[in-house]
């Protein structure tokens, strides 16, 4: 339970960092890439809350993992296109990696594997 609350807090922290970063994207991307990234982050938040509330968590956690992978791809694309400066990319990526590690531990717990 504590891990579930910690991952939710990490997601909120990511949101707080990401929104100001997304506000600096060019106007041409406000209704394209920015919307895609925000929707992806919204789905990450939704899947986390759903996983906390469901009895059978495995499929929801796998969906959360897929959304994290999509977010990583969008972030890399943003960086490669020059919309996301290197320092912001580095900090934001670190937040996503931390969420991914916590998710990996949660998935191992759900699958009945001991944490290493």
Supply the pLDDT for residue 2.
60
pLDDT along the chain (116 residues), means of 10: 80 96 93 95 96 90 96 97 96 96 92 68
The distance of Cα 18 from the centroid of its chain, to the nearest Å, equals: 10
Supply the pLDDT for residue 115.
58
Supply the pLDDT for residue 56.
87
The distance of Cα 52 from the centroid of its chain, to the nearest Å, equals: 16
pTM above 0.85, yes or no: yes
- The token duo for 83 is 């919309």
Distance CA 3, CA 97 (A): 15
Distance CA 14, CA 31 (A): 21
Residue extents of the structural domains in the chain: 2-110
Supply the pLDDT for residue 111.
85
- The reply to whether CATH 1.20.1440.60 applies to domain 2-110 is yes
């Amino acid at each position: 339970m504590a891990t579930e609350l910690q991952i939710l807090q990490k997601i909120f922290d990511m949101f707080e960092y990401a929104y100001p970063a997304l506000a600096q994207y060019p106007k041409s991307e406000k209704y394209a890439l920015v919307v895609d990234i925000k929707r992806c982050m919204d789905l990450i938040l939704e899947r986390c809350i759903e996983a906390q509330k469901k009895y059978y968590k495995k499929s929801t956690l796998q969906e959360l993992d897929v959304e994290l992978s999509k977010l990583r791809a969008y972030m890399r694309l943003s960086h490669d296109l020059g919309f996301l400066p290197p320092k912001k990319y580095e900090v934001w990526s670190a937040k996503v990696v931390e969420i991914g590690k916590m998710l990996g531990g949660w998935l191992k717990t759900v699958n009945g594997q001991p944490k290493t």
